[in-house]
């Protein structure tokens, strides 16, 4: 997706992240600042093109909004139909989640070498304007779900790479070994 086809507020966000990553390469230095830029983007729900906000009746949608030409980061809208959730999974790169519309619930996990999963910390609910962080350095294994059984929720995610191409893992809750996956993206109608 090129910069001429994105909303001005999204372009401002992308430019801010790009400038930040030009200046700082250490995750601990830029991750919180990316979070504040994302918080600014999701504080108003008036910029997301409706074609990137369409739910699927059976599973969540992941629409690519922007990928950096150098693949340093990608921006994605996650569209959650009523009651939908991810499996327990990781990212293998840093990420920030910003809640745009509705609410989502997140539970982090510790994955054991014996394939066990242990809940890590309390479950967190993100409301519009809230942000959350993931990274292999701070905790990268989690499950996310739409809080609502009767409405759509939308979150905006930024990841440290082209997340649709990155090999990641799903962690089955039955104790079986993790499985590799590459998420790809949903194509808007």
The binding site comprises 89, 91, 142
DSSP string computed for 130-143: -EEEEBTTTB--EE
73 closest CA partner among 102, 45, 38, 104: 38
Binding-site residues for Fe cation sit at: 89, 91, 142
CB 147 within 8 A of CB 153: yes
3-state SS class at 144:
strand
186 closest CA partner among 42, 63, 50: 63
Rounded-to-integer distance, Cα 58 and Cα 60, Å: 7
Rounded-to-integer distance, Cα 39 and Cα 82, Å: 24
Residue position matching structure tokens 């070994």: 177
DSSP string computed for 104-120: EEEEEEEE-TTS-EEEE
């Amino acid at each position: 997706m090129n910069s001429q086809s994105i909303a001005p507020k999204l372009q401002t966000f992308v430019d801010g992240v790009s400038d930040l990553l030009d200046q700082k390469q250490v995750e601990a230095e830029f991750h919180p600042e990316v979070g504040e830029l994302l918080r600014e983007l999701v504080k108003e729900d008036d910029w997301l093109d409706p074609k990137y906000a369409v739910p699927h009746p059976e599973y969540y949608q992941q629409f690519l909004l922007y990928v950096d030409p150098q693949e340093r980061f990608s921006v994605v809208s996650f569209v959650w139909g009523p009651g939908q959730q991810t499996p327990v999974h990781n990212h293998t790169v840093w990420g920030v989640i910003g809640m745009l519309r509705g609410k989502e619930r997140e539970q982090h996990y510790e994955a054991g070498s014996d394939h066990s999963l242990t809940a890590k910390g309390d479950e967190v609910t993100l409301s519009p304007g809230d942000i959350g962080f993931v990274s292999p350095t701070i905790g990268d294994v989690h499950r996310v779900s739409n809080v609502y059984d009767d409405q759509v929720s939308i979150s905006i995610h930024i990841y440290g790479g082209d997340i649709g191409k990155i090999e990641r893992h799903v962690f089955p809750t039955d104790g079986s070994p993790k499985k590799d996956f590459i998420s790809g993206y949903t194509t808007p109608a």
